[in-house]
Structure 1
Amino acid sequence: MIRFEHVTKRFQDGTEALKDVSLVLPTSELTAIIGPSGCGKTTLMKMINKLEKPTTGSIYIDEKPINDLDEVQLRRSIGYVIQRIGLFPHMTISDNVALVPKLLEWSKPKKEERVRELLELVGLDPAVYMERYPLELSGGQQQRVGVVRALAGDPNIVLMDEPFSALDPISREQLQDELRNLQQTINKTIVFVTHDMDEALKIADTIIVMRAGQVEQIGTPQQLIDNPANEFVRSFIGVERINQKRTFGERRLVEFLDLFTDNWTGDFEEISADTTIEHAFLQLDKSDQDYLAIVKEDRIVAYANDRDLLKAALAKVTEVTV
């Protein structure tokens, strides 16, 4: 668990990037931090690995104040993915991914095994890509390598600073889907900075909306859509998105199967594919399960959690495959 306690960040010119921020980032969940430019979202994230330090206040990881932790050791224990990817062009993909394990003095067999495991996890064949160089990969492939490099040392926390914003729309959407599916496997505490509300609604378990160095609202995507805390949050989410959720809430699950999850190994509750999205939200809320198993013609055809349902509720009709 990451906890901020009355954190203020004031720069030398007097600018207050953060103003008395207190919040808790849930463990093993993906938290998106969103807000307009200059709102303090990147500063907030960078404080977790001490790239920025608070003027006043304290930050805790698992109830240990990070002020007492060595900066180098702390940063090696936290994965970090940046917008510009940051791969070293003169190093092979294998060497790029193994950078932190090398610093942690892992054995060569252990490093190679970890590289292979991670590349396979994001759909890059190790036999094809391990000895290639970054410039031989597409932008989307390079960003996949950037993501798995952040996971190489098996950190509990991963920071992601607008990692997909420089990609083309198709690559960006693919990586959003892959990150969401990847998180179901790795269950890391991911802090994801973005300026894109659609991206936040799609991938996040929890969303933090910021403005002018302060937190305006914290909640799940569904909570933000259903109950914006104030006019700023409502405007930032967008009335169109809110209305889309309400309008398409009566559409049936069967119309959105391509947007849902193919596999789920945990517990679930079954629901008919003919059920409306609105009723699916209600059933999931009443159940004690994270997922609904969607049944069509007596067999399970997909799985959906609250984010999947929200994604379907916000989808445009033209994007849906029946």
Structure 2
Amino acid sequence: MPKALVITAPGSRDVVERPIPTLPDDCLLVKTVSVALNPTDWKSADRKPPGQVIGNDYSGVVEEVGKGVKKAFRKGDRVCGWVQGCNSNNPESGAFAEYCIPKADLQIAIPDRLSFEEASTLGLGTITVGQGLYQSLKLAPPDAPLAQPELVLIYGGSTATGTLAIQFAKLSGYTVLTTCSAQNFDLVKSLGADAVFDYKDANAVQAIKDYAQDKLSLVFDTVAVESSAKFCGEVISSKGGDYSALLKVAVPRDDVRSLFTIGYTAFGEDFDFGGGIIPAKPEDREFAGQFMSKAATFLAEGKVKPHPVKLGPRGLQGVVEGLQDMKDGKVSGQKLVYNVADTP
């Protein structure tokens, strides 16, 4: 019987045997090849009830196409994208399993230039960037860039979402400022960041203000904690601006519009988040599907590159250790990836 990484008790997870999931009409049945880890994986696994399959990012091969799927997928296609892990609506739905059932409209065919390992890093981060930069901050789209550059700050540029955000913001014609640890400066510069600042440096706020000359009015915060919101509030123009974060944190300024996105709205269904129910947003699913299709073109052309991969051992069993490493803050500038076939 196939294996999957499942919440086995509150705060505990293990690899168990699990039947192949039932295929919903709007989904693909995918034989999973590679999976990639995100902070939301360990956070959800720690707080969700037992029985749910964990994991969001994957790549694999289509085994079967749901009868309601409109996108042109066929058996044998290499695909990647985002599947909702720790999903109370459908406990079978997570990515960390030998078979997964992603919603077809949120997936893309893997460009020939990318390996399964690289492709597995893309789904959650790409959709999250789409929501933050384009749905929330209303940046110029990457296929219709600005004629004259404007400033945007990506706080947390070396995160898996941050590296994608830098590249999309550059494609959209912006001058990109970013923050990260000094050890990751070369990474973010290689992806197009115009100016990089060490957020740990006591002079970082002043350095950004000196660079921006009171013209920074757009900020995307991929870290989304109280300290990052405070930092961002200190560098935004005295005239105000827009700040968008990946969680519900706010800049402590009345003249700054504090916005936030929760990536899971991309699935277009009600979901349990932080102990409450977030209502379905069909418009977010429509946007996410369109943005993934657009992103696929840039990935195929090599204009957007995946986050650096660190391939771990022991497949799904290795994921258990990787989740703990993420929780302990041991991962920086790399995406932990595991090949499912390596599971003991």
Q: What's the TM-score once normalised by structure 1's chain length?
A: 0.28
More helix by share: 1
- Which of the two has higher C-alpha Rg? 1
Q: What's the TM-score once normalised by structure 2's chain length?
A: 0.26
